[in-house]
Amino acid sequence: MKLYMTDISGNSYKVRVLASILNVPYEKVYVDWDSREHKQPPFLKLNPRGQVPVMEIEGKVFWDSTAHLVYIARKFGGERWLPADALGMAEVAQWLAFAQNEIHFGLQWSRGVMKGLKTGSLQEYQGYGRKALEVLAWHLKDHEWLAVGRPTIADIACYPYVKRAPEGGFMLDAYPAVVTWLECCEALPGWLKLQER
């Protein structure tokens, strides 16, 4: 398995965390972000979206960290990180979608604007970001984990851009249950520290 990634990419980080927890070997292929390698034709052949991460798995190419998490969880994690029963899978999928909606367009993009990586309306992105934190706080006030009462790929998918929310102008202190959940994730055996810039 090859992972095309950068060290700072929060979406690549999700894949690295699960591989670390499950002790799954893979080859890292560093994409040169500063020279915009991810926007050049050779990379765009792998991922027309021009984004990392991308994985080559069993001779096929997959983009989107969600696909990578699903593959690794199912192939190497048994039932533990992605349950196979219909209800359990739906519960995890609900949070995988949340990671790719409110967290992505809210928390990730607010940080992107504040770091000069992205243009667009900070006010609009922060509106989605506030919604992301409110939904998480609402759920986590009486649940330890996001889905099925244990850590799953739902937690890994949501973690990085919630952790980085302060870089997008959000005060996590206002959401103590969210802070506790971040700490529970960080205490999992094999967890990796998220690189800050």
Ligand X SMILES: N[C@@H](CCC(=O)N[C@@H](CS)C(=O)NCC(=O)O)C(=O)O
Contacts with ligand X by CB under 6 A lie at 9-11, 38, 50-53, 64-66, 100
Kindly state the smallest distance separating residue 9's Cβ from ligand X, in Å.
Answer: 4
Shortest Cβ contact with ligand X: which residue?
51
Alpha-carbon distance of 82 to 63, in angstroms, equals: 19
Amino acid residing at 147:
A
Closest to ligand X by CB, 67 or 177: 67
In this complex, which beta carbon is closest to ligand X, that of residue 38 or of residue 151? 38
d(CA 150, CA 146): 8
| Bridge partners, 5 (sequence order) | 30
Q: Between 42 and 189, whose beta carbon lies closer to ligand X?
A: 42
First CA to last CA across the chain, in angstroms?
A: 27
Nearest-angstrom CA–CA distance, 153 and 157: 6
Residue 30 β-bridge partners: 5
Nearer CB in complex with ligand X: 66/126: 66
- The distance of closest approach from Cβ of residue 193 to ligand X in the complex, given in angstroms and rounded to an integer, is 17
- Residue holding tokens 């990578």? 68
**Among residues 65 and 110, whose Cβ is nearest to ligand X?**
65
Q: How near is the Cβ of 197 to ligand X at its closest, in Å?
A: 12
Taking the complex as a whole, how short is the minimal distance between the CB of residue 52 and ligand X, in angstroms? Answer: 5
């990586």: which residue's tokens? 117
Rounded to a whole number of angstroms, the minimum distance from the CB of residue 86 to ligand X is 24
